[in-house]
Amino acid sequence: MNNEDDVSSRTIITGGAAIGIFLVVTVGGLLYGCPQYNVYSSRMDGQATMAQAQGSRMALVSQATAEKDAAVLRAEAANERVAGWVQAAKDGCAKLGLTGDKDCLTELIRDNYNFSLASEGSGSPTVILSNGISPPSIQVRAPQ
């Protein structure tokens, strides 16, 4: 029986040593791994924040580019609209026999501008009556 007790004691000691080694390795791994995980986690949080900031920056740049392009197109449209007003005023003055008359051109351009503003403000057509050119001046300057 002594032999059996000796084997039992060795098994208990060996099992206890194995459990002790396991616990030491596990605790050591946790003591080493936790700070490493915190470093890794912080690095991943930083990368995610950086990616979000870059995405926000790209969205702002895209929006600014779109606004710039829209402003350029609005300016080009305004230039074409004014050129159309000038041409319409020249044609109108020519029909009245007032080709080259600065007052006639100025008044008709002003009328076109006012008509454009009124038309853009409402969906329905608007009529603007000129107060600048009086019929007597047209009758006096009309060709014979």
Residue type, 28: G
Residue 142: the pLDDT is 38
Q: What is the largest CA-CA distance in the chain?
A: 149
Residue 131: the pLDDT is 44
pTM: 0.46
Residue 54: the pLDDT is 94
For the four alpha carbons of 45, 47, 50 and 52, in that order, the dihedral sign comes to negative
Q: How many residues does the chain have?
A: 144
Residue 122: the pLDDT is 52
Residue 17: the pLDDT is 85
pLDDT profile of the chain (144 residues), mean per 10: 66 83 88 84 92 94 94 88 84 84 83 70 48 39 39
3-class SS string, 16-45:
HHHHHHHHHHHHHHHHHHHHHHHHHHHHHH
Residue 127: the pLDDT is 45
The 8-class DSSP code of residue 99 comes to: T
Alpha-carbon radius of gyration of the chain: 45
Residue 130: the pLDDT is 46
Task: Extract the runs of DSSP E, i.e. beta strands, from the chain.
Answer: none
Residue type, 132: G
Yes or no: say if 93 and 104 are a contact pair by the CB < 8 Å rule: yes
Q: Count CB neighbours of 85 within 10 A.
A: 19
Domain ranges of the chain: 2-141
